[in-house]
Amino acid sequence: MVRVFTFASGKGGTGKTTVTVNLGTSLAQFGKNTIIMDADIGMANLGLAIGLEDVPITLHEVLAGKANINDAIYEGPAGVKVVPSGISLQGFQQANPERLRDVLNEMVDRCDYLLIDAPAGISRDGVIPLAVADDVVLVVNPELSSIVDALKTKILTEVVGGHVLGVIINRAGVEKPELVSQKMEKVLGVKVIGTIPEDPNIRRAASFKIPVVIKYPGSGSSVAIKKIAASLAGITYDEKSVETKDKFIERFAKVLFRGKK
């Protein structure tokens, strides 16, 4: 049986797409049959994050009734399957978000994990991913405005009958992680399932359209993301051995490709 996670936030820019792409890639690396889907059909950027922005058939065409979901599933990094949304405004206008529920129902037998990148805000179509997921994960930055937005999203999820599993704190700074977690849990009333540090490697990897967990596997953000993926999948994650191996590969690759872009 598939487990469906939706990654949501109040405002845009907290890191939903980054988290969805990298958790999905990590789960695929762990050998799990995983699909990531861009349900942010208005401001689609999941495809862009992994170089799938030019594909002919996307979730837009499926939601417009012009294509079958099978034709909108692409192979992504580490074998993760990807359902991108289109970036054209016309495609967005023709897509009927009400169909999303049926599309998701069609996908449940095809994978172990389905990760949905939800749109920000509280639009009508935005609530479908909150309602249909087994678990909603709030992606929050450690700032008051982001926490307040997340609280609204949590309440909205509960209103539409969804379940909030917990919070991922993204772009954590120098403040002690335990203190930030405690504050977050107190305000939001849900547990913190992981903390991802602010890490320039995320943008660096994005410029190559490669997930950071593949491009810079030994970086702080990658290690944090892999830990979260392991906990979602119920896998024990041996941080030390993976970290050392990844750091070695990274160093080796640097020496090998020194001087090349």
* Sites of contact with Mg ion (CB under 5 A): 16-17
Q: Which residue among 4, 5, 15, 180 contacts ligand ADP (CB under 6 A)?
A: 15
Q: Which does 171 bind (CB under 5 to 8 A by kind): Mg ion, ligand ADP, none?
A: ligand ADP
206 binds, among Mg ion, ligand ADP, none (CB under 5 to 8 A by kind): ligand ADP
Site stretch for ligand ADP (CB under 6 A), options 13-21, 97-105, 179-187, 231-239: 13-21
Does residue 31 come out as left (phi exceeding 0), alpha (psi in the -120 to 50 range) or beta?
Answer: left
Q: 3-class SS at 166?
A: strand
Which of ligand ADP, Mg ion, none lies near 13, with the C-beta cut-off 5 to 8 A by kind? Answer: ligand ADP
What CA–CA distance (Å, rounded) separates 171 from 142?
7
Q: Name the nearest CA neighbour of 152 among 10, 16, 6.
A: 10
Residues numbered 31-60 forming contacts with ligand ADP, rule: CB under 6 A: 45
Q: Which stretch binds ligand ADP (CB under 6 A): 9-17, 75-83, 84-92, 154-162?
A: 9-17
Q: Does 25 bind ligand ADP (CB under 6 A)?
A: no
Q: Are strands 81-83 and 74-75 parallel, antiparallel or unpaired?
A: antiparallel
Distances (CA, A) of 181 to 5, 40, 202: 21, 27, 22
Q: Within 13 A of 47's CA, how many CA atoms are on the CB side? A: 25
SS3 assignment, position 192 = strand
Q: Which stretch binds ligand ADP (CB under 6 A): 16-24, 106-114, 122-130, 242-250?
A: 16-24
User: Is residue 206 part of the contact set for ligand ADP (CB under 6 A)?
Assistant: yes
The phi and psi torsions of 196 (rounded to 5 degrees) equal -110, 125
Which residues would be at the binding site for ligand ADP (CB under 6 A)? 9, 12-18, 45, 170-171, 196, 198-199, 202-203, 206, 221
